[in-house]
Amino acid sequence: MIDKRLRVVLAEDSVVLRDGMVELLGARGCEVVAATGTAPELLAAVAAHRPDVAVVDIRMPPTHTDEGIRAAVDIRARTPEVGILVFSQHVETVWASRLLAEGAAGIGYLLKERVARTSEFVDALRRVADGGTALDPAVVTQLLRGGRSPKVDALTPREYEVLELMAQGHSNRSIATQFAVSERAVEKHVAAVFAKFGLRATDTDNRRVKAVLTYLAESGS
């Protein structure tokens, strides 16, 4: 995906921010095939262009409440192959959980402040387009505040930290770098998480995604 020019549909009602993001993405090797300001326009653009990923503001006209996230859920149902990266000024845990309800693969949720961190934002965009997950650390933290389940409580502090980074979309290598440990050590922690969550290896199941979903679902989302 690094060498591929990502095709993006962008939905943001602020003309200034929308134009800035179009310029930013274009400079980073992405092709914004449509830039819209309303949820209906977003849905029409995705249907027409079938982009690699849709970047969606959660709050859009006319009520500026949940139009964007409703459209994102609709896109997920109609065109599951399209990655979705939603962003918001604030952490909206109910809407984050709603979007993640059918699976975390190809889903991202970032706070708007991350957009200013160009490399971080584009990396998240590419990860989502590749079928990965990109959750803002602040979103993960808020999702955890609703309470802990027995499965989550069974994790050691380090296993919990590893799972939290998995939820943010980090690979084992990236986690190893952050903790200054070997990748093998991280693999052992990940295996322990799988075991405690009762996730057995199969040829078809993505245990990493299932672990993240278990973590989010059982953290009081």
Give per-residue pLDDT as tens, 38-95. 999 999 999 999 999 999 998 888 888 889 988 998 998 899 999 999 988 877 777 7
Q: What is the bridge-based pairing of β-strands 30-36 and 53-57?
A: unpaired
Nearest alpha carbon to residue 80 among 40, 140, 128: 128
Contacts of 86 (CB under 8 A, 6+ apart): 55, 56, 57, 58, 68, 69, 72, 95, 99, 108, 109, 110
Q: Read off the pLDDT band of 211 (50, 70, 90).
A: confident
Q: What b/e sequence results for 49-67 when a residue is b if at least 16 CB atoms lie within 10 Å of its CB, and e otherwise? A: bebbbbbbbbbbeeeeebb
Give the span between the Cα atoms of 52 and 173, in whole angstroms: 25
The HSE-up count of residue 109 (CA atoms within 13 Å, CB side) is: 29
Judge whether residue 204 has pLDDT over 70. Answer: no
Could you tell me which residue, 105 or 161, shows the higher pLDDT? 161
Task: Give me the pLDDT at residue 166, please.
Answer: 83
